[in-house]
């Protein structure tokens, strides 16, 4: 399995999830192929104070306008892609196969190559269009994972809630972690 994962970061609130995922993967020596929408990059800075210079060295940033990026080709080997957080706008682009931006194109390539695509919607409430777009993506092979942290591990800090969501995302790719205590029954 390639230790390379595509991370898409959109303009939905919740960029702390993406930053935590990136930092966790970087500590595990994964190569992160990052695509940010312009609004996603602004929200990252606004919500976390992080900008491009604050990202780990094993992050390669691909410009969302660069359709000549390696991520636009099925021959580029990755373990899959996660879009975290995923705005409803980007969700709609992915669901309809619109690929005039790299993030949506990389999602299409991930699906066509039958690699895992994990979509973490963060907006709410959902309207019927959002739900139908999620269903369309799920039928195409994506895993839809709303940012809904669990509480059975008795979180004490916000980072505990973030870690639960990020850990569940890592689970979808079979990546071992210790971000939260797993449920073992009562």
pLDDT the model gives residue 127? 97
List the beta bridge partners of residue 81.
Answer: 6, 117
- 42 in a domain, yes or no? yes
Would residue 39 count as lying in a domain? yes
**Residues spanned by the domain of 148:** 4-172
**CATH number of residue 13's parent domain:** 3.40.50.1950
What was the pLDDT predicted at 92?
Answer: 97
Q: What is the pTM of this model?
A: 0.96
Q: Which of the residue ranges 21-25, 130-134, 151-155 would you say has the lowest mean pLDDT?
A: 151-155
Q: Is residue 91 part of a domain?
A: yes
pLDDT(133) > 80:
yes
Evaluate whether residue 182 is within a structural domain: no
Read off the pLDDT of each residue in 63-70 and give the average, rounded to a whole number: 97
Overall number of domains in the chain? 1
- Residue 14 within a domain: yes
- For residue 169, report the phi and psi dihedrals to the nearest 5 degrees: -65, -45
Is 184 inside any structural domain?
A: no
Residue 109 backbone dihedrals phi, psi, to 5 degrees:
-65, -40
| pLDDT for residue 144 | 98
């Amino acid at each position: 399995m390639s230790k390379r994962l595509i991370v898409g970061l959109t303009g939905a609130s919740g960029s702390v999830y993406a930053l935590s995922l990136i930092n966790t993967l970087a500590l595990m020596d994964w190569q992160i192929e990052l695509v940010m929408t312009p609004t996603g990059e602004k929200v990252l800075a606004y919500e976390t104070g992080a900008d491009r210079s604050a990202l780990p060295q094993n992050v390669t940033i691909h410009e969302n306008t660069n359709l000549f990026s390696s991520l636009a080709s099925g021959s580029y080997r990755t373990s899959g892609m996660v879009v975290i957080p995923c705005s409803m706008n980007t969700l709609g682009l992915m669901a309809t196969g619109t690929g005039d931006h790299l993030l949506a194109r990389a999602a299409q390539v991930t699906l066509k190559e039958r690699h895992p695509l994990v979509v973490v919607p963060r907006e709410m409430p959902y309207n019927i269009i959002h739900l139908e777009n999620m269903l369309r993506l799920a039928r195409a092979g994506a895993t839809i994972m709303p940012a809904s942290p669990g509480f059975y591990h008795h979180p004490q800090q916000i980072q505990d809630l973030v870690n639960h969501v990020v850990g569940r995302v890592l689970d979808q790719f079979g990546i071992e972690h210790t971000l939260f205590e797993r449920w073992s029954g009562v």
